[in-house]
Every structure is written in structure tokens, then in C-alpha cells.
Structure 1
């Protein structure tokens, strides 16, 4: 018996109860499916869950199990689609009823994955060899199992929760066994998976998605990235030697995805990401009007936005940084979410109207009827949340908050962090939520990239060529960790590159070097990042300036 076959058989669920009245004979299963109470979706879900659990509890011939699963599969996928409608496009974190729907849908995928894996193991019993004239059945069972393990992972990532136990280990084991019997690259026709697809492509596609950290991308971005990852699966293969450049370790039998190798884990494969990372860099060089194309495979490219490309570049950079030493922590930080809340605390707990009336340039900048003068901002309700730092590096923190429902953070959101205990004297650092995950205990875990250790509240006013101006926007001047560039700001207004901008300071925070020279004017602004809710802009260096 080979080691890969032994692992394929190990730790397979045996069902939580007795086989019951469910008879795993394909014709009877087909009649049973036809009699399901589809008008009552909850009853149908319960019946399907009991049937899948009963199948796992029964001792069957592999062909019989495979036939029964094939009859059940369409009905289970139909139930999963109905469950997904309940939580798709809902704000996160999901309320309890929506979270239950997501958990049930993921469980259905896991039950099917375990069942098909068990069918493959039974078909190849007792020694792990493919029996005569049964190779097609073994291949089908392995492909179905790999696809459902992959979909279980995708569903967990989509709702920003940790995958169910056994999903990664099952996927690793199915792929290793398929590769050992040389069935991993033979395509299988599977309408649910989008047509002909082989196990190796499914496996590498899922590894690629995990490697770029799906928790760092929005749900719509994840939908865009799955077909892109499938395209790159043919160019970002598995290597039995550590290649130069980006190549996370693929665990041999651990219940986790690719990443830095752990000291107590064995592995024999690396995921070569160089083709993907290089194509992202080339696409960034081709950006026009905020759009470019990725070229994952032969044929037309995939149209993507500049922001997504920047997120991918950052993901590859953070992947390299994961191998660096992180310092354990345990201390607490005060946190505030969003630019409005950060500005409020940086300005000494003054709303933007008050800040403007007390600005260094005086009340001439207050525009009657502006949205921020109407008191609709509710700054009295700005809340600080206490977060605990799990570990840290030079670039940021891995943090946790006890109540995800209270914090309600989003990927890409601006976050202020402070060590201070005196609310009026706090110094605030500025960071960005790069990824987040909702935990089973109701808490929230997140990675916060640190943009600046110092910041100052300001306002920005775009000045036209004739001296006219647009409405004033709330902004924060940040002092980036890497010095050497020009001044940098985070604003809640869409400021275009090339704009001339006046910086309006607090009366007590005017730059000393301004002296009596009048307004603080920046003649040429460059947009560094447009994150939707805010933009990061910087002072463009004059032409011919030294690098």
C-alpha cells in the first residue's frame, strides 16, 4: 500500500449516526431525490444533509457510492445555490441566520468532497491500485472530490471565515494520490466546474488563490480572481525544488494552504508564482485610464482595474514578507475606523466644521451649506475600539478585536491606531486593513499595514488656474515610514493628478516654515492610490529633480 493511498483513506468521516432508511442504490436514490419537498427549502436541506451523512456511515462498494453521490449531487448543488442567495451581497459580518446559511452551504461541499474521496478509496481497495476498467470511475470520484474541497474553501473565503476542518488536508491528499497514479492531469467533463478540467488545475488554482490571500480582496474581486487563477495554473506549476523568487511551500499533509514552511511539517513541493507576479508587473506598466489586462494563458487577456493590480502586487510583496521574523506581542491599541473618525481624533475631538472655523487661514474657507456644516456627520458618535496586537513587524500588525459586529471593518479601510491613554493627548498612527477574517467566537482578526507613525489633521482645497476653488475636503497629512519623497495626504475627495492644492491647517498646527508667506500651496499633486472611500495623494517632484 502506497503512502499516498494510506493518507487518502485516513481520517475519512464515518457519519455521525446510523445508516437509517437511506438506501444507496442509484435507482432508488434517483426516486428519493425526485420526491424531495423542494417547496420547503429547509426540509430539503435537512433531508439532503441526513442522506449524505448516512452515506458516509454505510459500508459500500465504491461504484455504488459513486453512483449514489452522482444522483444526489445536482440536488445538493441546487440547495447550495439557494443558500448562497441568502447571504450574497449582504453586509459583513453576516447576521446569525445568514451565517448559518453560509455554514450549511460549506458543509454540503465538504460532505460531498469526503463522500467522493471515500468512493475513490473504495474503488482502489485494498492496495491503492486502479482496478481494470474502473479508471474512469476513479478519476471522476477524485475530480469531484477535489472540486468540492476547493469550493468549500472558496465559500469560507467569500464570507471571510476560516475554512472548515479537513478541507485543505482532504484537497492535498486527493491531489497527491491522483498524481501518484498519474490521473492528476486527465480532464474530466464537469458542468458544475465549468467544463473539462483536471485535478492538477483545480489544485494549483486553489493554491494560487490561497497564496495571494483572498481575505485581502473584496467579494467581487475574488470572483474576478478565480478564473484568472485558473488561467495561471498552467504557468505557475508545482516544483520539487525551491525555485528562485516567489515560491511558498505547499504542505504535504497539513490542514492549511501554502505559506512559509513550519518546522514540524514535511513537504516536497513549492508553488512557483513567478509567472503570475511578473505578469502583474507588466500589466501595471500598461495601465491606461485606470485599466489594463492580465494575460494568464493563451487567448485574450482579462480586463482588470489598476487598483486590483496594485492589490496583487502588494499580496506578492506581503507573501515575501511572511517569511520574515515577526515579533510576538499581546499589548492593546486604541483604534478608530475611517478617515472621518481619524480626523476627528487627530483634531482633538473636534468635528470638521469646528476645525475649519478655527483653521490657520480663518473662516473664509467655510462654505455655507456644505455637507460638513450641517451636523450630519454625527461626530459625537465616533467610537474607539480596543484591539489586541497578536504579533508585529516593521510593516504593521496582526490584530484581533473581541466583537466583529461592533467593529464592522472592511478590507482596504483606513484605521487609526494609538498607544495613548489620555484621549485628548493621543498620538495616532495611520494604517490600512489589508485583510480580515471573522472568527467563530464572534471576534475579528485582521492584518493592518502601517502607512505612517505620525499624522496631522488638515483640509485640502483644489485651486483652479484662475484662482477659483472647489469645496474643501477633509484630509490627513501623513508622514510615511519611508522618508525621502514629497508630502503625502489622505483625502475623502476625488482629487485629480496635476491639481494645484491649498493645504489648510489647524490654527495651532500651521507649519513653522510657512511663516508669513501666506497659504500653503502645492503646485502639482499626483494621485498615488484611489481606494474608493479615500484617495492618497502626494506632492509631485519637479521635473528634473534628483531622484
Structure 2
């Protein structure tokens, strides 16, 4: 039996004679665990972190170390679950909390890897009495807990730690060579399938890496990870990678890639996902399927997974390298604020006269200045707007457009609200902040940008952005499609939804009960070249296709019906719609770019 794989797995030196916090036996460790201050998660996690660090370095037999690790593993998983929940909801300290959970799990993995190395050494030396289940169980535990460290890195859009994939690959290769890859191992920390194999534990990491995780959110990745506990039975690893969509090299420090992109692999394995994709698609079409889908899993998420695991899609547009500053604001609330010319939402509802500033947007310049900046012979698409032309003259007799905003804030101060100009206070900057980003490349569909500032907490895939080039005062509307962090910083892919938008207020018309409160929304014009009708971007809840809504714009309330949801993310929905009453009344709305 070759010990080549084990010599390349990193384990800490066994340099401790005893534990500093209790006697070196499972019973004493169990009593220590019971006495932990569970009400204080951070303090308890720090103590368990030190305990796992010592257990991984304890000079004992493989069986003794395994018994100690099995005793502390349940409480460690419980603490990691609590820390992960806190990290997901903490805006200020999420990264620090996640790092603590990651260190806990990494220490536990180090202990199990030490068991693997020591157990294999004893087996190679011909030691008698070695538990035959020790190696498959230790390999399974190491693969399972390493997969959780991988999940955490993907949830925060960061690259996996050095050697993470190498050790995952090497542990599975060792299981193959020991012929224990399909050995059934019981794991009480699993939810759906308490008995799994080292192969399924390894496949969990592979499939998680193949699902385009940089296009998914924190919660979505956690849901996929839990589903994979059961779904791995529909996926196979094969020595012949010829017909597989994905492949992995077990002798590399790389995760899975598309098979056609793999070159000169030493120990290639093909990852066959076609049966899993068939199961997901059958479920989506209400056909007979064996796959179990947890309640609450959204159809868009399942479609994403079927696409990610089912085909290699080429880029629809060629990217062109570019440079320059792109100004970005994050979230529907901030996008609505800047598209409204810098007025708070309530001000727009309270006083329709404040909408003069909204109507001036996206110029943010007086007509004479716009003429000087306009290329000779060109026509601004906003010149013939159906509502701008009718409701506001070409020169609305506002010599100082910023004065409208200033007066609105003075009125807000009189009502007891904060009224300082944007950027003058820390509170205002954090409420509606503009970030300077750097464009990396561009395509007809959007941009790749690099984030230069600290990431705001709401920055996730599926979030709405308003963005503009530094030389253009007009805001475009976009959505974040993917996020990736590495040593160079944070890069993200931005899909443009519309080059212009009109900020409005909407609320659902309820059949029973009083009216609901107005919510921010954006009207996007029809884009005839790509056959995209006029649409409305709303918050995710409570808006649904088929609902009738009140649409408030320029002091006029209209009635409309949401017809079809064309985009659904964790933050917003995008609907086509038709007007039912009001000054926009027609059978189908005709808000076009040529009218704006």
C-alpha cells in the first residue's frame, strides 16, 4: 500500500503530552463540555477552539484522538451553526464571526487528518488490533468538515484557503486506494441521510463548487449544501472523464472545472451530473422524480442549479477591456433616492411639488449646460418624453435645481427630520452612499467592475444598483449577477437592465382590508431592440404577478396590473404590467426609450 497521498496531507506535530483544560480521556472531556458557558457563544467558541487545537496536537494513539474528536464534534457543530447565523445577520462583524467559525472547523479537520495519517502509518507497520472502521470514518469526517469550510468561503465570495482543494482531493484519493470510498459511515450531524460514504461527502464539495456559487447568496448556498446531503446519490465519479461535463484532478490543488477546460491531469475523475439534472428538471415539470426538494426552495434557484450542473454556456457577448470610474449606489432604496434627484421617498409622497427635482433627473444639469455637453447633431432621448414635455416646460424656471433639494430638506427639518445635504453627515452617507468603482471590461450586457471601497453589508448577488459613468450624470439601472473576491480585491459582474428609469411609488390593492403602504419602485422603459417591454421593479414582497396596484407618479395615482414576473431575485421582482386607469391609461403601457 502506497503512503504517497498521506505524506502530502498537512497535519500538526504531535507535541503535547496532555490537555490543559481536562484529563486526556473522553469522559473527562464530556464533563468539560457540559460545563461550558453556552449562553456566551463567543467565549464558548474560544474555549472549544483552544480545545480542538490541543487535541489535534496531542501525542496519543489514533483511536484515542478519534474518541476525543467524536466527543467534542457535536458541540463544535452547534457553535458553528450559531456563529454562522450571527455572521449572516451581522452587518458590522459578520466577517470576524465567520472567521471564528472557520477556525473551529479547521482545527477539527486537523485532528481528523492526524487520525488518518497515524492510522495509515499503524496499518502500514502491521499493527494488530487496529479498528477497521477507523480510517474510513476519519476520512469521512475530514471530508465532511472540510466541505463546511468550503461552504463558508463561498458564502463570503472569497477564494478557498491554500491547499483546501488539495487535501479534499488527496483524502478522496486515499479512500479510493484503501478501497473504502463506498464504505457506509454514520454521521449524526447530517439531517437527511444519517449514513453516507466518503464519496458522497467528497461529492458535496464538488457539486457546491460547480453550482456557480458566485451567483448565489449566503442563504441560498446554505440551502444547496443541505440539499446535496441527499442529492449526491444521483451523481457519480468515474475514472474515465471523457463524457462528463465536469472533471477534477485528484493530484492538484484545484477544484472541479469543465472537462473541456482540463489539460494534462494526473489523476482525472469525471463528475457525471446528468441524472441529477434530469431529476431537478422532472421535479420542475411536475413529472415523476425521486429527488427530495425542501419546502421553500424557489423555482428560480432550481432552474439555476439545473443550468449550472447541466451545460457549459458560452458567453453571449464579447467582453472589451475598459477603464474609468463607475459610480454605484446599492439597493432599491438608494437607487430610488438618486433617480429622484436626491429626495427622500416620504418627501415625494408628501409634496408633489418636490417632484420637480425628480423630473429634472437624470439631467442634473440646466438645459443650456446640457446643450454644451451634447455632441453636435445628436438628440437627447429625454427631449420628447411624454410626461416631461407635457408637465414640465423645457426650462421650468428653476435657475438652481439644487435649490429644490435644499428647500425640500428645509421643509423636512421643519417636520423634525434630519435635513443636512447628502454627504454632510455620517448618517446620510451611510443611508444613501455613492461608491467609486473601477471598470475592468464591458459588453453589451453590462460591466465587470472592481470595488475600491469596503463592501457595504447589503452587497449580494441579485441586488439592484443605480450606476453611471463619472462623465455622465444620468443613472442606469443594473443588477449584480456574480461576486468574486481574491487577493486583488472584489470584482463583480453587473447586468444592465435599462439605461434609464423613472422612480415611482406602488402599493398593492387589497380586496379585503385597508390600503397598504406605498413602496419604492422603478419604471423601466421598453427596449425595442431586444424585445423587452416596459417593466416595473418592485421589492420582492408583497408583489406578485396578477395583482392590481396603485402607481403614484408626479402627484397622480393610477391603477395598473402586474402581468408577468420576468426577473426574481432575493431583493426585487421585475414585472411587465398594463395600465388600468390614470393619466397613463391604455391597454398596454407604451413607455419607450424614444419617449424618454
Q: Which residue of 2 aligns with 1:525?
A: 563
* Offset of residue 414 of structure 1: 0.5
Q: Which residue of 1 aligns with 2:195?
A: 196
CA 435–54 in structure 1, closer or farther in 2 if over 3 Å, else same? same
What 5-or-longer segments of structure 1 have no aligned partner?
287-292, 364-372, 508-518
Do structure 1's residue 455 and structure 2's residue 506 form an aligned pair? no
Correspondence for 1:474 among 503, 510, 521: 521
Equivalents in 1 of 2:46, 2:153: separation in Å? 21
Equivalents in 2 of 1:149, 1:398: separation in Å? 31
Equivalents in 1 of 2:435, 2:165: separation in Å? 34
- Secondary structure, counterpart of 1:415 in structure 2: strand
Q: Which residue of 1 aligns with 2:108?
A: 112
Equivalents in 1 of 2:59, 2:529: separation in Å? 63
* Offset of residue 153 of structure 1: 1.9
TM-score, with normalisation over the residues of structure 2?
0.68
Q: Which residue of 1 aligns with 2:376?
A: none
What 5-or-longer segments of structure 2 have no aligned partner?
349-353, 360-386, 393-410, 423-427, 510-514, 579-586, 589-596
Q: Which residue of 2 aligns with 1:320?
A: 313
Larger Rg: 2
Q: Is the 8 A contact 1:84 1:102 kept in 2?
A: no
Equivalents in 2 of 1:127, 1:209: separation in Å? 33
- Secondary structure, counterpart of 2:499 in structure 1: strand
- Secondary structure, counterpart of 1:474 in structure 2: strand
Q: Which residue of 2 aligns with 1:147?
A: 144
* Offset of residue 526 of structure 1: 1.9
Correspondence for 1:383 among 433, 436, 454: 433
Do structure 1's residue 7 and structure 2's residue 5 form an aligned pair? yes
CA 91–48 in structure 1, closer or farther in 2 if over 3 Å, else same? closer
Q: Is the 8 A contact 2:65 2:111 kept in 1?
A: no
Equivalents in 2 of 1:91, 1:50: separation in Å? 24
Q: Which residue of 1 aligns with 2:210?
A: 211
Do structure 1's residue 70 and structure 2's residue 67 form an aligned pair? yes
Q: Is the 8 A contact 1:458 1:506 kept in 2?
A: no
CA 147–528 in structure 1, closer or farther in 2 if over 3 Å, else same? same
Q: Which residue of 1 aligns with 2:119?
A: 123
CA 346–126 in structure 1, closer or farther in 2 if over 3 Å, else same? same
Q: Which residue of 1 aligns with 2:366?
A: none
TM-score, with normalisation over the residues of structure 1?
0.73
- Secondary structure, counterpart of 1:455 in structure 2: coil
Q: Is the 8 A contact 1:328 1:392 kept in 2?
A: yes
Equivalents in 2 of 1:27, 1:107: separation in Å? 22
Equivalents in 1 of 2:266, 2:440: separation in Å? 26
Equivalents in 2 of 1:190, 1:216: separation in Å? 30
CA 266–230 in structure 1, closer or farther in 2 if over 3 Å, else same? same
Do structure 1's residue 535 and structure 2's residue 573 form an aligned pair? yes
CA 69–25 in structure 1, closer or farther in 2 if over 3 Å, else same? farther
Q: Is the 8 A contact 2:11 2:113 kept in 1?
A: no
CA 137–402 in structure 1, closer or farther in 2 if over 3 Å, else same? same
Do structure 1's residue 103 and structure 2's residue 150 form an aligned pair? no
CA 524–453 in structure 1, closer or farther in 2 if over 3 Å, else same? closer
CA 188–274 in structure 1, closer or farther in 2 if over 3 Å, else same? same
Correspondence for 2:466 among 397, 416, 430: 416
- Secondary structure, counterpart of 2:167 in structure 1: helix
